[in-house]
Amino acid sequence: MTAPRTPSADRLGRLLNLVPYLLARPGILIAEAAADLGVTPKQLREDLELLWVCGLPGYGPGDLIDMAFDGDRVTISHDAGIDKPLRLNPDEALALVVALRMLAETPGIGSRDAIERALAKIESAAGDLADAPVAVKLPANQEKLAKVRAAVDSGHALRLTYYTAARDETTDRVVDPMRMLTVGTFAYLEAWCRRAEATRLFRIDRIDAFSELAEPSRPPVEAVPHDVTDGVFRPGPELPLVTLRVGRGGRWITEYYPVEQVVKEPGEWLVTMRVTDLVWARRFLVGRPDVTVAGPPELVEQIRAAAHEALDQYAAPS
């Protein structure tokens, strides 16, 4: 199943086509170009503004794409060498080979044949890069990943036994697979979960067991894929807001987790962040000496109760 295109991927495609399109049509009306490219004039102007800072390394005079505006018309006055054949040095070619090998290993990627053809061409042109000592493997159980990918490609519904770390529980559920994708260092199955009646992302390494059902996968029309451009966790106003007082040893939290606000006070930081639920927050924050929970009150009470329970385990028997 081909993964849906993201807005960023669509924009990259437009930008790659925009310069040769404008070079072939000097002085074209912005409205006419927008109609040809299937975007609004406003979006095209935003793309043109982005082209101002695109070009060759060095990014000085003569390195960047330049253009001239005459009213509502635009002309590319300097293409920064985009019309010249691409020449890669060994380091650039190796980096591209590694990236393509990673794409070829990524589950759910469409146009896999095109990726493999491009990889073969680069490796044959680069000679000894074909035998480059670089092995690209996704950080998940490869056998499980291959089996889940095959099940998704079969187009059938699946029965999963899945561990949810946020609630520290294992559940059984039937899902209608939509696609497979990789976000960061983890591979995911995206599917319509009949138990939750919503689209869910299931980390492959947390699927304890699965079986393929005879019935076909039929996600309903409301099964909308997640936008994972900025990661899997997308904090929103519907999620609980937690306030923390963080010492020097706990500041790493602001680097690894999305936070809404950081107020730097003498000796500590006041951090507010959204969490999936308070159960996860309690498990995450208990026992962290450089972090004090300031709110909400129910989380403070849960942390206090958990601390007393832990201390009771050390109490001498009567």
Give the pLDDT confidence of 63-94 residue by residue, as tens digits.
778 888 888 898 888 777 666 666 667 777 77
Q: What is the pLDDT of residue 256?
A: 78
| C-alpha span between 186 and 201 (Å, rounded) | 11
Q: What is the pLDDT of residue 32?
A: 92
Q: What is the pLDDT of residue 173?
A: 92
Q: What is the pLDDT of residue 272?
A: 92
Q: Is the dihedral of CA 291, 292, 297, 298 positive or negative?
A: positive
Helices (H), the chain: 7-23, 30-37, 41-51, 90-105, 112-126, 142-154, 253-256, 278-285, 297-312
Residue 140 confidence (pLDDT) above 50: no
Counted residue by residue, the chain has a size of 318
Confidence of residue 295 (pLDDT cuts 50, 70, 90): confident
| C-alpha span between 158 and 177 (Å, rounded) | 7
Q: What is the pLDDT of residue 5?
A: 46
Residue 138 confidence (pLDDT) above 60: no
pLDDT, tens digit (0-9, with 9 covering 90-100), for 160-188: 999 887 677 888 999 999 988 877 667 88
For residue 262, count other CB atoms closer than 10 A to its CB. 15
Top pLDDT among 295 and 84 is at 295
Confidence of residue 57 (pLDDT cuts 50, 70, 90): low
**Average pLDDT score, the chain:** 79
pLDDT, tens digit (0-9, with 9 covering 90-100), for 5-54: 445 556 666 777 788 888 888 899 989 988 888 888 888 888 888 877 77
C-alpha closest to that of 280 among 168, 186, 188, 162:
168
Top pLDDT among 134 and 183 is at 183
For residue 267, what are the CA distances in angstroms to 254, 263, 264, 287? 16, 11, 8, 20
Give 204's contacts (C-beta < 8 A, 6+ positions apart): 140, 141, 144, 145, 148, 186, 187, 188, 189
Decide if 21 contacts 83 (C-beta within 8 A). no
Decide if 262 contacts 269 (C-beta within 8 A). yes
Confidence of residue 230 (pLDDT cuts 50, 70, 90): low
| Token pair recorded at residue 282 | 């309690």
Confidence of residue 60 (pLDDT cuts 50, 70, 90): low
Residue 287 confidence (pLDDT) above 60: yes
Q: What is the pLDDT of residue 2?
A: 42
Residue 152 confidence (pLDDT) above 90: no
Q: What is the pLDDT of residue 124?
A: 67
For residue 182, count other CB atoms closer than 10 A to its CB. 21
Q: Phi/psi at 78 (nearest 5 deg)?
A: -150, 125
Residue 262 confidence (pLDDT) above 70: yes
Q: Per-residue pLDDT averaged across 210-237, rounded?
A: 82
Q: What is the pLDDT of residue 160?
A: 92
Residue 245 confidence (pLDDT) above 70: yes
